[in-house]
Amino acid sequence: MKKSSIEINKHPIDKYLRRDRMPHIWCPGCGLGMDITAFIEGTKQANIDMNNMQIVSGIGCTGRISGYIKLDAYHTTHGRAIPFASGLKLANRNLTVVVFSGDGDLFAIGGNHLIHAARRNVDLTVICVNNFIYGMTGGQTAPTTPVGAFSSTAPYGNFEKPFNLVGVAASAGASYVARWTSLHTKRLANSIAKALSNKGFSFIEIVSPCPTVFGRKNNRSDALGLINELRDRSRIDNSANPTEIPITNYGEIVIGDFLNEPRPCFSESFEEGIKKTKERIEK
Amino acid sequence: MKDCNFKIVGFGGQGIILTSYVLGTAISIHDGNSVSMTQSYGPEARGGTCSSQLVISSSEVNYPLVEKTDILVVLSQEGYDKYFQILNTDGVLFYDLNMVKKEKINKKIKAFSIPATKIAEDLGNKLFANMVMLGFIAAHTDIVKAGSLKKAIKETVSPKYIDIDLKAFDLGYHYAENANKE
Amino acid sequence: MGIVEKTQKKGTSKKETREIVIKKERCKGCNFCVEYCPRDVLEVSEEFNEKGYHPPKIVNSDQCLFCGLCERICPDFAIYIKNNETEPEKEEKPISETTHGLFNIVKSKYEGEFFMQGDIACAEGAIYAGCRFFGGYPITPATEIAERMAKRLPFLDGVFIQFEDEIASMAGILGASWAGAKSMTATSGPGISLMNENIGLGMMTETPCVVVNVQRGSPSTGLPTSWGQADMMQAKWGSHGDYGSITLCPKSPQEFFDLTIVAFNYSEKYRLPVFILTDAIVGHMIEKVIIPPPDKLEIINRKYTKKRPQDYLPYEAESNLIPDFAKAGDGYHYYVTGLTHDERGYPIMTEEVQKENVTRLVEKINTYSDDIIILEERDIDKADIVVIAYGITSRTVIPAIEKAKKKGIKVGYLRLITIWPFPEKRINEIARNIKGFVVVEMNLGQIVLEVERCAAPYTSTKLVPHAGGGIHNIDDIVKAIEELAHEKK
């Protein structure tokens, strides 16, 4: 192909990307690009007005997603994507607000915000890309690092029990909960569409390969090997109870569309409460 | 009216803050003088010593705190014991006869007493003692006009208590103070 | 590059052509496409791309079913199925006057004279200024502001939310501001310490909002129900890095009302979080507050761009140094980041961009400092000694000044209503003509450092400190005035 035709040929996703920032900073074999593709497909399925779509992320490899998707996008501080997004959504309910961030950002430094936003059922879609480690800072233990896995701050293997992300989200009150791997692109896209359509707190965990940082510290640095491993270890079970499916270092990864139980979101409850009060006052 | 400091002391639940709020409203909004009100209360919602103070002036109030007071109103023994010392030697003391036992005090101090709690109980609830006291104060000082206080009561208290509060106020206002002046 | 398949759609005369396109320059050589292609259409090539990776090549083109799996699993957007019947790109939406219905300002019915607490006056000031989003966390002595907002906002089509902590509160009001709402939070020292992280984000992203600090005794938990003025420097230097900041300091409930409106105006005009620093006395004090009719006071709203999305750069500041806003949801697709960024909002990690970005954050406040600085002066022309104070302390010094005047000393009074940017110019001017400054503050020496800096070559400065939890003794202030007045120059 001639050089000129490269420029003429536009990847269909390019219109949703900040093309002037490509190629992205992510390492070879990183799952994040696949996650973006699935996300865009999901938004199309859900028929969302892309101008109303607001992408909010925190800090970390996944935090950079907001900088590559060409929508109104906010790259906030470490762990604070969810409260920032809550403000955005509550102040203008016409907006569709998506938080796209990593496991360390959402569950370590930002853990408190996540459980409270889930409890309030704020109308947000939170997509957590879980790679089991802090990638951008060079491989420190995350709240998701499996017992026995190595990191630069767990040089003798991690002793701490990790969070089961879908379990935490479901227990805290999320009204939609799913888990997929980056490889399950089609199912992931379907889930994203459902999450966007749920008026409430939706949570999707994407188990995503990080060959360069997690892989290298854990004898799985081959990108293809790692994605094959995710394929081989995962089992789809939509009826699984999200609180009972923790992820271990080598064991089965149960994936699926676990919970879809809509309930009034924060704004609806708020409005309902005020409406009742107004009625009482008018009487 | 002379510039003066005013302090009211009691325990939580006696309506100390409300009393000084009503008084402050009457003086600042209806009489047109300057008032700065501050308050302090213990961590307990009920029963702890509670006090509130007003700095009243015909011009702008600068220093907002009351270190020495010209008028001291006490509705509890603890408040009396704790705060009597900050009353100026030519000051005025108002106290609730049912709640406070007064010791022998400097003769320059004018002391007025009223069985506010008893009067309030006869009216139905001892919670009205603060309004009885307010009426009593209005009758014996020139810091506020009685009419302004009544307006302030109407604006401040919950509508269902306006009538009874005004009645309590009047009972205090017309209470014939006797024998307790020393 | 690619294979071409021509098909005809049923029921149409349109021909559809599909092909695989590989954008070799984007490939990072993970080989996912090669491995996962169900028909083994792809193979790793011998060729190197610019970055030294081997992009895939098409070998069994006739086997391709155009299933699109390669496109989906490529992490680098480097391969796709081109459908020549792809939908045409929609024209970008022109500027529309989107109204965010939720925030149509409902005029406050609070109008007239009230005997009102400082904290409540602050909340009413915010409502008057058009604030319709409050995010906060309870803390003495600022809680009454949140409580008032919780009561009032829902009936003005606004939103009150009690967040899980102050970190979330600050992040939340920034988000709300980007959604178009005027937003505010209120707290005290411990809360400000937590908020400072996102205050920095607000400064870097130039997000208008108001942060109220009702100061209490400190450091740490300090004196929760008592007062202090020891967060003065924190307001300027609290979050890491260089940025221009604005801090206002009210002395009474009336001024708490007035300055809250000014704070909103400044935040909207200069695009930054603006601080109001008061203290537990003013916060809890009750005095007469006059609330004027709704249109009486000037209200400034942020400036939205008139440019079309394709011409708009979110951080392009004209000579006025302040970039225009774009409305969320209007199709501008801006990117906002706490990283050092250029005028497109893109992170750029170079010395030049850092210099340009940060310098503008500082300069936009310096440039307008004359408009931002508000001072109250009394008797300065004839004075030998000038007493400088702010907030509640500016009231306690008045009786001291009167006393000193009775002793024959010529005393002037300078009240700092704007603390930051610091009124360097004016203090420097005054310093040339007087014998000395007496700085009275409820801390062990903060603003005095700034006064010294501006006064040093011309005159001396004396501090009357107080650790907080009480109020200055008037005689201490008088003594300091006397000492300075009788000092040999």
**Which residues, 6 or more positions from C99, have their beta carbon under 8 angstroms from its beta carbon?**
none
CATH number at residue B40: 3.40.920.10
How crowded is residue B51: how many other Cβ atoms within 10 Å of its Cβ? 25
Distance from CA of C115 to the nearest CA of B (A): 5
So what's the pLDDT on residue B179? 41
Q: Do C286 and B65 lie within an 8 Å CB cutoff?
A: no
Please, what's the b/e burial string for C193-224 (b: 16 or more CB within 10 A of its CB; e: otherwise)? bbbbbbbbbbbbbbbbbbbbbbbbbbeeebbb
Q: Nearest residue of C to residue B42 by CA position?
A: C225
Mean pLDDT value of segment A13-18: 90
Which amino acid is it at C243? Y
pLDDT band at A199; cut points 50, 70, 90: very high
So what's the pLDDT on residue A1? 40
Q: Nearest residue of C to residue A85 by CA position?
A: C175
Chain C: touching chains (3 or more CB pairs < 8 Å): A, B
Structural domain tally of chain B? 1
DSSP secondary structure of C423-435:
-HHHHHHHHTTSS
The answer to the question of residue B181 being in a domain is no
So what's the pLDDT on residue A20? 87
pLDDT band at B12; cut points 50, 70, 90: confident
DSSP-derived letter for residue C87 is: P
Residues of B in contact with C286 (CB under 8 A): 21, 24, 35-39
Q: Do B28 and C115 lie within an 8 Å CB cutoff?
A: yes
Q: Do C396 and B62 lie within an 8 Å CB cutoff?
A: yes
Residues of A in contact with C171 (CB under 8 A): 76-77, 80-81, 83-84, 87, 113
The answer to the question of residue B104 being in a domain is yes
Percent of chain C with pLDDT strictly greater than 90: 80
Mean pLDDT value of segment C250-276: 98
Instruction: For chain A, list the domains and their CATH numbers.
Output: 3-282 (3.40.50.970)
The answer to the question of residue B179 being in a domain is no
Instruction: For chain C, list the domains and their CATH numbers.
Output: 4-83 (3.30.70.20), 103-291 (3.40.50.970), 309-371 (no CATH), 375-486 (3.40.50.920)
Residues of A in contact with C51 (CB under 8 A): 23
Which C-chain residues 419-458 have CB contacts (< 8 A) with chain A? Answer: none
pLDDT band at C42; cut points 50, 70, 90: very high
* Backbone dihedral region for residue C179 (phi beyond 0: left; psi -120 to 50: alpha; all else: beta): alpha
Q: Is the pLDDT assigned to residue A18 strictly greater than 70?
A: yes
**Closest to B55 in 3D by CA, of A63, C213, C392, A188:** C392
**Which residues, 6 or more positions from C399, have their beta carbon under 8 angstroms from its beta carbon?**
B62, B63, C474
Q: Do A84 and C181 lie within an 8 Å CB cutoff?
A: no
Residues of C in contact with A228 (CB under 8 A): 35
Tokens of A226: 């790692």
So what's the pLDDT on residue C336? 96
Mean pLDDT value of segment C114-135: 96
Angle subtended at Cα C62 by Cα C56 and Cα C63, rounded to the nearest 5 degrees:
75
So what's the pLDDT on residue A152? 87
Overall residue count recorded for chain B in this entry: 182
pLDDT digits (tens, 9 = 90+) for C320-361: 999 999 999 999 999 999 999 999 999 999 999 999 999 999
CB C219 within 8 A of CB C444: no
Q: Do A94 and C100 lie within an 8 Å CB cutoff?
A: yes
Residues of A in contact with C163 (CB under 8 A): 83, 86, 116
Which amino acid is it at C18? R
Please tell me the distance from the alpha carbon of residue C395 to that of residue B151, in angstroms, as a whole number.
30
Give the predicted TM-score (pTM) of the model. 0.88
**Closest to C477 in 3D by CA, of C415, C360, C385:** C385
CB C389 within 8 A of CB C417: no
The verdict on A56 touching C (C-beta cutoff 8 Å) is: yes
Q: Nearest residue of C to residue A19 by CA position?
A: C77
So what's the pLDDT on residue C140? 87
Q: Nearest residue of C to residue B63 by CA position?
A: C396
CB C481 within 8 A of CB C385: yes
- Among A119-123, A139-143, C180-184, C461-465, the range scoring the smallest mean pLDDT is A139-143
Angle subtended at Cα B111 by Cα B107 and Cα B113, rounded to the nearest 5 degrees:
150
**Which residues, 6 or more positions from C178, have their beta carbon under 8 angstroms from its beta carbon?**
A74, A87, A88, C207, C328, C336
pLDDT band at C85; cut points 50, 70, 90: low
Which amino acid is it at C94? P
The verdict on A4 touching C (C-beta cutoff 8 Å) is: no
So what's the pLDDT on residue B106? 84
CB C104 within 8 A of CB C42: no
Mean pLDDT value of segment B130-135: 95
How many contacts (CB atoms, under 8 Å) link A and C?
232
Strand C112-117 versus strand C286-291 pairing type: antiparallel
So what's the pLDDT on residue A138? 83
CB A205 within 8 A of CB A194: no
Q: Do C471 and B65 lie within an 8 Å CB cutoff?
A: yes
Burial of B181 from C-beta contacts in 10 A (0-12 / 13-18 / 19+): exposed
Q: Is the pLDDT assigned to residue A170 strictly greater than 80?
A: yes
pLDDT band at C18; cut points 50, 70, 90: confident
Mean pLDDT value of segment C290-307: 95
pLDDT band at C470; cut points 50, 70, 90: confident
Q: Is the pLDDT assigned to residue C381 strictly greater than 70?
A: yes
Please tell me the distance from the alpha carbon of residue C386 to that of residue C454, in angstroms, as a whole number.
14
HSE-up of residue B65 (Cα within 13 Å, Cβ side):
18
So what's the pLDDT on residue B166? 96
So what's the pLDDT on residue B49? 80
So what's the pLDDT on residue C109? 67
Residues of A in contact with C156 (CB under 8 A): none
Please tell me the distance from the alpha carbon of residue B112 to that of residue B96, in angstroms, as a whole number.
9
Mean pLDDT value of segment C285-290: 96
Mean pLDDT value of segment C172-182: 97
Please tell me the distance from the alpha carbon of residue A159 to that of residue A245, in angstroms, as a whole number.
19
Which amino acid is it at B32? G
**Which residues, 6 or more positions from B77, have their beta carbon under 8 angstroms from its beta carbon?**
B99, B100, B101
pLDDT band at C9; cut points 50, 70, 90: very low
Q: Is the pLDDT assigned to residue A68 strictly greater than 70?
A: yes
Residues of C in contact with B36 (CB under 8 A): 252, 285-287
Q: Do C172 and A83 lie within an 8 Å CB cutoff?
A: yes
Q: Is the pLDDT assigned to residue C15 strictly greater than 70?
A: no
Residues of C in contact with B35 (CB under 8 A): 115, 286-288
**Which residues, 6 or more positions from C30, have their beta carbon under 8 angstroms from its beta carbon?**
A28, A29, A223, A224, C75, C76
ipTM rounded to 2 decimals = 0.93
pLDDT band at A137; cut points 50, 70, 90: confident
Range of the domain at B118: 4-174
Please tell me the distance from the alpha carbon of residue B35 to that of residue A191, in angstroms, as a whole number.
63
So what's the pLDDT on residue C16? 62
Q: Nearest residue of A to residue C135 by CA position?
A: A87
pLDDT band at B34; cut points 50, 70, 90: very high
Q: Nearest residue of B to residue C251 by CA position?
A: B62
Q: What Å distances lie between residue B117 and A107, C141, C398, C431, CA to CA? A: 58, 32, 41, 60
**Closest to A141 in 3D by CA, of A167, A126, A159:** A159
Specify which residues A204 forms β-bridges with. A127, A178
Can chain B be said to touch chain C, i.e. do they have 3 or more Cβ pairs within 8 angstroms? yes
The verdict on A127 touching C (C-beta cutoff 8 Å) is: no
Residues of C in contact with B155 (CB under 8 A): none
The verdict on C48 touching A (C-beta cutoff 8 Å) is: no
Q: Do C287 and B29 lie within an 8 Å CB cutoff?
A: no
Burial of A282 from C-beta contacts in 10 A (0-12 / 13-18 / 19+): exposed
Q: Is the pLDDT assigned to residue A101 strictly greater than 70?
A: yes
How crowded is residue C242: how many other Cβ atoms within 10 Å of its Cβ? 10
Please tell me the distance from the alpha carbon of residue C122 to that of residue C253, in angstroms, as a whole number.
7
CB B50 within 8 A of CB B16: yes
CB A165 within 8 A of CB A180: no
**Closest to B88 in 3D by CA, of B105, B65, B64, B113:** B105
Distance from CA of C113 to the nearest CA of B (A): 7
The answer to the question of residue B148 being in a domain is yes
Residue C118's Cα: distance from chain center in Å? 23
Please tell me the distance from the alpha carbon of residue C86 to that of residue A47, in angstroms, as a whole number.
17
Residues of C in contact with A95 (CB under 8 A): 179, 328-329
CB B51 within 8 A of CB B106: no
How crowded is residue A277: how many other Cβ atoms within 10 Å of its Cβ? 12
Please tell me the distance from the alpha carbon of residue C245 to that of residue C420, in angstroms, as a whole number.
6
So what's the pLDDT on residue C88? 52
Q: Do C171 and A76 lie within an 8 Å CB cutoff?
A: yes
Q: Do C115 and B38 lie within an 8 Å CB cutoff?
A: no
CB B73 within 8 A of CB B7: yes
pLDDT digits (tens, 9 = 90+) for B55-101: 999 999 999 888 899 999 999 998 899 899 999 999 999 999 989 99
The verdict on B59 touching C (C-beta cutoff 8 Å) is: no
Please tell me the distance from the alpha carbon of residue A201 to that of residue A196, in angstroms, as a whole number.
9
Mean pLDDT value of segment C365-369: 97
pLDDT digits (tens, 9 = 90+) for C399-425: 999 999 999 999 999 999 999 999 999
Mean pLDDT value of segment C424-430: 96
Mean pLDDT value of segment B162-171: 95
**Closest to B90 in 3D by CA, of B4, B180, B173:** B4
Q: Is the pLDDT assigned to residue C97 strictly greater than 70?
A: no
Q: Do C338 and A77 lie within an 8 Å CB cutoff?
A: yes
So what's the pLDDT on residue B177? 63
